[in-house]
Amino acid sequence: MPQPSVFDMTPETFAAICEANDLPKFLGKQVLDWVYAKGVTDPQAMSNLSKANREKLAEVIDFEQGVLLAEQVATDGTRKLLLGWPDGRTPVRDAGAGIALPIALPIANAEGVPEIPTSRQTECVMIPNPERRTACVSSQIGCPVGCAFCASGIGGLDGNLTTGRIVEQVWRLGQIERSESPEGRVSHVVFMGMGEPLANLGNVTDAIRIINAPWGLGVSARRITISTVGLPAAIRKLCDFELPVTLALSLHAPNDDLRRTIIPWAEYSTVTELLDACDEWFQKTGREITLEYILLGGFNDQPEHAKELAGLAKRLRANVNLIRFNEVKGITFSRPATDDVLHFQKILRDRNVNTHIRASRGRDIAAACGQLRHEKRTVS
């Protein structure tokens, strides 16, 4: 089993590990500053730590568990990382003076690419805009929901990501910004990658605490969005979360019959039950809901669907994000025509529903909404 990840740790848990390993308690604060403020994860580069402490830390803590398997950049600047999550640790790095640091790295193939099975791979995406830098991260390896239009669930679920492995995705994407500008940083985080976040609620909320913490990544809670296909009990549990995150409901159809044809988990809760839970969310948190609606050409993008969706949106404080279907190999749905999308939006707006069309970023590298999946490529 891997050692604890530095990205799992809070100042309190780090102090406990220090105490258990005869290290000074103040070491945790110094290390977390190196990791988050300075972007350094090599303990040997943490110059204000003694040599003995650096060596001991390298023995008991993983500083990066993910292995970069591929990196792609789209024509619009969107960047996608494919990360592998090995289960073991092998002493492979010579830290000097004959000391081998144990870090997680699997055996490489003939081309030098680490061999990590797809059952331990996830993708995450950096979406740059002039005003913001958005990290789209995964919460699970694969997805248990199996939506008919989404690549992430094609292979099913292989497991939950730990708190640290969620945080590490955001940190790694932030390092891209740091490398391009010393002031660069992640400004927004969306749990819209692989997996159903509310099915891994404990790790997701713990990760958000670290992503939000001033000693961590310092991202405002109001700029962190959890996107869910809809688990009423989990939504109600999230109502008690102490941080004011944004909740997005992946509705994708305006009625139960249509929704159940594309979302298998829709069998377990009705649209009415979902909206009731979302209304409770608003009443308890004061935070509006975003209704996400993927437009599938000729399936759920007709005027009657828009009128029905408008009725649902006006039942609670909600805005609507329209998402054009992004092509996935092996999935037969089609991308709707631009005129149909604009007409759908107009019907909603004419009924006083705040509606936006989400831009499809990174389509040419399969990084857009619904396209993330297990893939095997070489590092570019």
Per DSSP bridges, beta strands 79-84 and 121-128 are antiparallel
Which of 209, 187, 190, 191 lies closest to 200, judged by CA?
191
Which residue do the tokens 């190196």 mark? 34
Torsion of CA 82, 14, 203, 281, to 10 degrees: -120
Annotated catalytic residue within 136, 147, 278, 369 = 369
Half-sphere exposure of 282 (CA within 13 A, CB side): 15
Rounded CA separation 94/101 (Å): 6
- Residue 123 falls in the annotated catalytic set: yes
Rounded CA separation 244/291 (Å): 18
Rounded CA separation 118/131 (Å): 35
Q: Which element (helix H / strand E) includes 92?
A: strand 90-94
- Residue 177 falls in the annotated catalytic set: no
Number of helices and strands in the chain (H, E) = 10, 14
Rounded CA separation 99/118 (Å): 32
Torsion of CA 26, 30, 36, 41, to 10 degrees: -110
Q: Beta-strand (E) ranges in 150-211?
A: 157-160, 188-191
Query: What letter would DSSP give residue 62?
Result: B
Annotated catalytic residue within 64, 123, 168, 196 = 123
**Residues with Cβ within 8 Å of residue 318, at least 6 apart in sequence:** 278, 288, 289, 290, 291, 353
Show which residues are catalytic: 123, 369
